[in-house]
Amino acid sequence: MKPLLNILRKEIKELLTPATFIPVVIIAILFASLGGFMSGITDDLTETPAVGIVDEDNGNLSTIVLDSITSNSKPISLDDNMDINQMLEKVKSSDGTALIIIPEGFSETIASGKQASLDVYYIMNSTGMLESFPSSMVMAIISQASNDLSAHMIEKSGISSDIPTAVLQNPISQGTNVNTYFNGNVMEDITPDLVSASLSSNSFIVPIIVMMIVIMAGGIVISSMGMEKENKTLETLLTMPVKRSQIVVGKLAAAAIVGLVMALIYMVGMIIYMDSLMSGAQVDLVQYGMSLGIVDYLLLGISLFLAILSALALCMILGIFAKDYKTAQGLIMPVTFLAMVPFFVIMLFDFNALPTAIQGLLFAIPFSHPMMAINNLMLDNYSIVLAGIGYELLFAAVMIVIAVILFKKDILITGRSKKKPKNQIVNEEGQ
């Protein structure tokens, strides 16, 4: 029994090191914070939506609808002298969900035995997959208004008995005159879920490809460092008359070339993907100025390359702490989690709609920038993309400098920091 316990103690000691334990604790804290954030977002989505409503009919039936919508929403005050664009901007600036207009002739249409429709303009503020959720709440409010109007018509006298039963039961048609206001454009006869479906492909496919590249390239670097230590080839390399700074530059240059090849392959596939997406999409985003040009693809490629370079430099630092191939496998976990966090957040939410603290967290992770670049480029938000490229360049440079410094330490060979024996003579000059 004692030998088994000794082996168990040895394996746990080798696996449970600060280099593997501390990143896991940090990631756990990070996910706990994100959990609280997601809970807050869910509460916000279930709040009563703010709605702008205009009654252009001023009839006896439109008043019922106006009262019903007002009582089931947070009404936004609108000036009667505003035109449609001014009303939309007012609702948007007030964090409203939709602008509902009761058109002239609404009451007369229903009294003549026909369903009447409302002019609905959904306000779409971001590109996240959850953006279409508030619009469903507005539809529920309109449905409730239709029910209230139906109850009033059935109980109230003076309504023509010639009105068909179908109209009495459902006097408001929700399937017509539905529009979406997004990025300064009124998309006629288009609901937010259609726009979100077209954009969510970018919010899902692009981040998952970036995440896969980062994890794959990072795993190769960390594993190679562990293998070199296990096979003693790293020690052989260090005994050669080559400066250690040159070794670092050589390793990173080779890794950067591999990253560049990956980025180029990715960009070719991305261009083909975007062309097929635009041709088969239900919403023609190009019609509303949301498309990518040559400069956009170039910026996206630079952002992706710098993200890969940052990942490789970070993984090289982590690989220095690996004693062998087995411990190197555990060190891949922090990079994996750092790539997964922005993937899930950006897939669901638009970066510009997130709280400042979460924005800062995502901005600090270099892998997040190519993930959110494509939607920002489509919406001409170049400042965020350029700032991200600048940060990625700075992050990669800092990681390279740290790697050069660590390559001159004993930790490169031992995988841990320890004091040198007094009788040990280390000659690092010329290395």
How high is the pLDDT of residue 412?
A: 66
Q: What are phi and psi of 247, to 5 degrees?
A: -65, -45
Lowest mean per-residue pLDDT among 64-68, 230-234, 262-266: 262-266
Residue length, the chain? 431
How high is the pLDDT of residue 388?
A: 93
Does this model's pTM top 0.85? My answer is no
Mean pLDDT across 139-158: 83
Q: What is the pLDDT of residues 130-141, one digit of tens each?
A: 666 677 788 888
Label residue 23 by pLDDT band (50, 70, 90).
Answer: low
Q: Is 1 helix (H, G, I), strand (E, B) or coil?
A: coil
Give one DSSP letter per residue of 104-151, joined into a string. Answer: TTHHHHHHTT--EE-EEEEEE----GGGGHHHHHHHHHHHHHHHHHHH
Q: What is the pLDDT of residues 67-90, one digit of tens each?
A: 999 999 888 988 878 888 889 999
How high is the pLDDT of residue 429?
A: 41
Label residue 243 by pLDDT band (50, 70, 90).
Answer: confident
Between residues 5 and 396, which one has the greater pLDDT?
396
Burial class (CB in 10 A: 0-12, 13-18, 19+), 24: middle
Q: What is the pLDDT of residues 204-237, one digit of tens each?
A: 667 777 777 777 777 777 777 778 777 777 777 7
Q: Which of 18-22, 36-40, 89-93, 419-423 has the highest mean pLDDT?
A: 89-93
CB 178 within 8 A of CB 98: no
As a whole number of angstroms, the distance between CA 21 and CA 14 comes to 11
How high is the pLDDT of residue 67?
A: 92
- What is the CATH code for 47-190? 3.40.1710.10
Domain definitions of the chain by residue range: 1-44, 47-190, 197-414
> For all residues of the chain together, what is the average pLDDT?
77
Tokens of 188: 């006629």
Cβ-proximal residues to 258 (8 Å cutoff; 6+ apart), any chain: 217, 220
How high is the pLDDT of residue 341?
A: 80
Q: What is the pLDDT of residues 106-115, one digit of tens each?
A: 988 888 888 8
As a whole number of angstroms, the distance between CA 116 and CA 172 comes to 5
Burial class (CB in 10 A: 0-12, 13-18, 19+), 68: buried
**Residue 394: is its pLDDT beyond 80?**
yes
The CA distances from residue 11 to 1, 3, 62, in Å, are 16, 12, 75
Cβ-proximal residues to 139 (8 Å cutoff; 6+ apart), any chain: 174
